[in-house]
Amino acid sequence: MKDSAVRRPPRAKRAGLVYLLYFISALLSEALVGHVPPVTSDAVTLLSTALYAWLALLLFALFAPVSKALSLTAALFAIAGCIVQELSLFHLATQREALFFFAFYCLLIGYLIFRSSFLPKGFGFLMMAAGLGWFVYLLPAIPRSLAMSMEVLGLVAELALMLRLLIAGVDVRRWNRRIETALR
């Protein structure tokens, strides 16, 4: 591929920024519960959920060259989790039910990262471990210490991926190779 035809990975650093905004809004939402009227904390929760859905779409575009079908499936799991998350605000679902979808999302994103070659494989392993951790977290009668460990694992995995995307993005040369391969 000629240098003039080099493509830039779509939205890699933008995904990192949206991830950061999601983290900030999600933490703010949790901090507001019980301290402000529920409508205020619910509005911040709605914002954080919308940011996560946007992130899912950005990551779909980023990982489509690895596997469009798996990337789309991951995005659909994330968006389904976002919908269920919002339904929980109206007591039509639970956050645990939303977490089921997010667990699949983490597994699939981790696998896509592992296969991508344009992000370090360690991030893929970490995200897959987080997905498995969320499934463990959902088990009934899980000891509190194990549940907290799974929450920390999920937070660390997504925080690490967010920082990587925000600061370094992806290896553009390798991403371009993936595009070339996908176009053949």
The answer to whether residues 18 and 10 touch, using CB atoms and an 8 Å cutoff, is no
Question: Which positions ≥6 away from 127 have C-beta within 8 Å?
Answer: 106, 107, 109, 110, 113, 157, 158, 161
Q: How many CB atoms lie within 10 A of CB 78?
A: 24
- Which of 21, 19, 63, 26 is CA-nearest to residue 45? 26
pLDDT of residue 143: 86
Tokens of 58: 């950005």
- Distance between CA 78 and CA 98 in Å, rounded? 9
Choice among 86-90, 134-138, 175-179 with the minimum mean pLDDT? 175-179
Q: First and final CA of the chain: distance in angstroms?
A: 13
- Distance between CA 103 and CA 130 in Å, rounded? 7
**What DSSP assignment string belongs to 91-107?**
TSS-HHHHHHHHHHHHH
Mean pLDDT, rounded, of the chain:
91
- Distance between CA 134 and CA 79 in Å, rounded? 17
Per-residue pLDDT tens for 110-147?
A: 999 999 999 999 999 999 999 999 999 998 888 888 88
pLDDT of residue 3: 44
Choice among 25-34, 48-57, 170-179 with the minimum mean pLDDT? 170-179
Q: Does 178 or 166 have the greater pLDDT score?
A: 166
- Distance between CA 184 and CA 181 in Å, rounded? 5
Element (H, E) at 112: helix 95-116
Mean pLDDT of all residues in 165-173: 91
Per-residue pLDDT tens for 6-40?
A: 566 667 899 999 999 999 999 999 899 889 998 99
At how many degrees (to 10) do helices 144-167 and 95-116 cross?
50
